[in-house]
Amino acid sequence: MAPISEQESLARGNSVARAAAATFEKSAQWDVSAPLGPGSLTWEHFGDLRSFLLLGRAGTLQNMHPVLDTALRQHSNFFADPMDRFRRSVEPILSMIYAADPERRAEVVRDFHKPIKGTADDGARYHALDPDVYWWTHVTFYESIIATQEIFGKPFTEEQKRQIVAEGMSWWRLYGMSERPAFGTYEDFQRYWAHMLRDVLGRNFTTDFSRDIHRKKIPAPPFLPKWIWPLLRYPVMALGGWVTSGSMPPEAREILGWRWTRLDAAGFAVFRRAVRVGWLLLPRKQRYISVSWQGMERVRRQAATVGA
């Protein structure tokens, strides 16, 4: 499949102006929330090590939005060093949940996006802090908690999914942004997710780059010796792309034109089982990303001190 150009993307209707016009009407019962912090489902699951396997999925879903595609092309080093973007993003985002000062961490994440604005290919103005755009990115974060357990863990019950969405509303309020696009009900989430796939998201230059990333000579991750990366780059990135394809919602995969065969599906089922079993064999500390484990340990130490 030949890479899509900005002009072809516009011809398909994947424009910033079209995305802005595709409004979503939330229900009158939208204002539902549930507390974050220790004891919440977000606290227990957002830092799950298996969520690293879905970074490509979350990033691709985000980048299917025309504004995010445009912002990356105009402002980001993503195409020169994709791993750097993930490295710089993961810890600040996790810190909003696991740090002792979540409001300040959320302010840092929000303000990082203030200078990201400009004019899109269709002439429309855009800003990364447009509440509708930022809300989509936010939804992909808490949806990835549900997806991680659905694909690689024990799937959530409907009641747990409702709680995750309600906690997502409390998480959004940490940013101090407009609640105009926001909601905390699972029914609104389901309708919104379908709306985005149907009316807003599309194939574009950035998603095509991500599809072919295993063929790009991207820099080595900082934790690997540079000499070994040329040997690992293709198999590691190809596996990552395959996992991203397999974990994507089928509707998104169809929009992107990504091929997924019965053989792929059978292999992915085996991979999923292997991840589930492997995760259970890990010591509890190793089941979590370090930032999240540090936050959990801090809370446990505080509780022990109070109870002493």
- The pLDDT of residue 218: 83
Is 35 inside a domain boundary? yes
Task: Calculate what percentage of the chain has a pLDDT beyond 90.
Answer: 76
Q: How many CB atoms lie within 10 A of CB 172?
A: 25
The per-residue pLDDT of the chain, averaged, comes to 92
Q: Is 3 within a domain?
A: no
Whether 46 is in a domain gets the answer yes
**pTM of the complete model beyond 0.75:** yes
Can you tell me whether residue 130 is helix, strand or coil? coil
> For residues 250 and 63, is the Cβ–Cβ distance under 8 A?
no
Structural domain of 74: 8-217+227-307
Give the pLDDT score at 4. 60
Q: Is the pLDDT of residue 213 over 90?
A: no
**Which residues face 117 on adjacent strands?**
127
Decide: 239 and 105 in contact? Cβ < 8 Å. no
Give the pLDDT confidence score for residue 121 in this predicted structure: 87
pLDDT tens string 224-252? 888 898 898 899 999 999 999 999 999 99
- Among 196, 208, 167, 209, CA closest to 184: 167
| Residue 2: inside a domain | no
How does pLDDT run across 44-70, given as a tens digit for each residue? 999 999 999 999 999 999 999 999 999
The number of folded domains in the chain is 1
Q: How far apart are CA 94 and CA 210, in angstroms?
A: 23
Asked whether residue 222 is assigned to any structural domain, the reply reads no
* Residue 23 within any structural domain of the chain: yes
